[in-house]
Every structure is written in structure tokens, then in C-alpha cells.
Amino acid sequence: MGSFEDLEVWREGCDLAVLIYGVFEEGKIKRDYGLKDQMTRAAVSIPSNVVEGKERETVPELLRYLSYAKGSAGELRTQLHIAHKIGYLSEESFSNLTHRTRVLSKKLAGFIKRLKAMKV
């Protein structure tokens, strides 16, 4: 399968995490350390879990950690909804970030499905 850097879900997860960090550069959300911590942890967890599963070098372990990554994507999407509802995110930022998170979650689900089809 190559290295983890070759995995699209890892690359997109890293890009999403960078975008989430960028959200905290301005506005009221900058000073909400609790939500900032939760969101950045969830965002960083997505590509980190992809790597952890890949580096364990077995398909069952990769499947387990891809599932964790998908769960973190859902967690992040929930936190984006909360940040938007309390006025921390503009409609544009919210729409962009939730779309990217949703797309990444679907790609993770597709990757999981393909691996399971290998009958490991």
C-alpha cells in the first residue's frame, strides 16, 4: 500500500487540521480555549489515527484506526455546528469546513469498505 503519505485520507486530514488551526487566528473563537482545544484535538486526531493504523502494518489494525479517524471527523463536525450556532464561525467558514469534513468522512468510509471487501 505504500507509505502513509501516499494515502489521500491522510493528506486531506492534514489539510483540514491546518484549516481548523487557522479558524482560531481571529474573532471570539480565538479566546475560547476549551472549544479550540476540542476542535484542534479532533482535527489532528483524524490524520494521526490514519497513520497509527497504517504504521501497525496489518489490515485489521488499519481498519480499527480508520474507524477512529472517522469518529473524530464526526466529532469535529459536531464542534463546527456548535461554533457556528454560538456565532464563532461565519456561514461561509462553517459551510466550507463542514463540507470538507463530510467529504473526508465519506472517503474514510469508502476506504474502510474497500479494505473490508478484501476479506481480511
The 3-state secondary structure of 35-80, one letter per residue: HHHHHHHHHHHHHHHHHHHHHCCCHHHHHHHHHHHHHHHHHHHHHH
With contact defined as beta carbons under 8 Å apart, do 4 and 89 qualify?
Answer: no
pLDDT of residue 61: 95
Instruction: State which H helix or E strand residue 92 sits in.
Output: helix 91-117
Model pTM? 0.91
Percent residues over pLDDT 70 in the chain: 98
Average pLDDT of the segment spanning 7-28? 91
pLDDT per position as a tens digit, 45-83: 999 999 999 999 899 999 999 999 999 999 999 999 999
Core vs surface per residue 3-16: b (16+ CB within 10 A) or e: ebeebebbebbbeb
Percent residues over pLDDT 90 in the chain: 82
CA angle 47, 55, 63 (to 5 degrees): 70
Residue ranges and CATH numbers for the domains of the chain are 4-117 (1.20.1440.60)
Average pLDDT of the segment spanning 26-30? 78
Confidence of residue 119 (pLDDT cuts 50, 70, 90): low
